[in-house]
Amino acid sequence: MKPRDNYRLLIIDDESSIRRFVSVALPPHGYEILEAENAAEGLHLLQTAKPDAIILDLGLPDMDGLEALKKIRESHTLPVIILSVRDDEESIVTALDSGAHDYLRKPFLLGELLARLRLAMRSHQFQQLHPIYTSGNLTVDLSNRRVVLAGKDIKLTLTEYELLRVLIQHKGQVLSHGQILGEVWGPKSTEHIQYLRVYIGHLRQKLESDPNNPQMILTEPGVGYKLKDLGAVRELEAANSTV
């Protein structure tokens, strides 16, 4: 799947000011915008206009956004970014667990929205090409967010999983602290290196046989981290099957 010059973006939001802003601000950055003011209209456009990504508000007039998200996930894997005034942890976790790629609180900055969209599109493209990653006795099903180590399911927090996903996406490459923080925590968090160290420690505790002598998640002193590629990416059998 090669990067494209333009993407079709569907925004489902009952606030006309938000839709208007997105419709004016995003086209110069390579997005064709489709608008829906409620869930019913958005779900119809999803089927007929075939967007590449969705921005979804949770407070829709005809259906809760989480219910709309579940309906989207019944038949589509495209990136969905939640845009909402709800900022409680339960809403965020529920949305991400229900299949959202990211969560952005209102009000938002254009630069942050563009960064989240780029990340979601790259992540989706990578998952489509390489839905399963294997390295030694570690298997990560990127499509279903499932992590298996030596045949046992490993439960990761949402942040731990996103950190692992970014490392997998750039396997074998050294990523700076700022790069990782920007992709996992957002562009405003690139200086919070201590956050990263804590979560790298959590991942090593769960995935390394000897967390004090890691063989997989390696430190590049003064620079950042890299995932040592012990195995290879293999695609799901279904990806190679034809009807």
pLDDT tens digit string along 186-210?
766 767 788 899 999 999 999 999 9
Determine contact, residues 84/65, Cβ cutoff 8 Å: yes
CATH architecture of 7-127: 3-Layer(aba) Sandwich (3.40)
The residues, any chain, with a CB within 8 Å of residue 37's CB and separated by 6 or more, are 12, 13, 14, 16, 19, 61
Boundaries of every domain in the chain: 7-127, 130-234
Beta bridge partners of 175: 225
Q: What CA–CA distance (Å, rounded) separates 78 from 118?
A: 13
Structure tokens given for 174:
């050294």
Dist. CA 173–CA 3, nearest whole Å: 20
Over the stretch 21-75, which tens digit does the pLDDT of each residue have? 999 999 999 999 999 999 999 999 999 999 999 999 999 999 999 999 999 988 8
Residue owning tokens 């996992």: 184
CATH number for the domain whose boundaries are 130-234? 1.10.10.10
Mean per-residue pLDDT of the chain: 84
Q: What is the pLDDT of residues 134-145, one digit of tens each?
A: 888 899 988 778
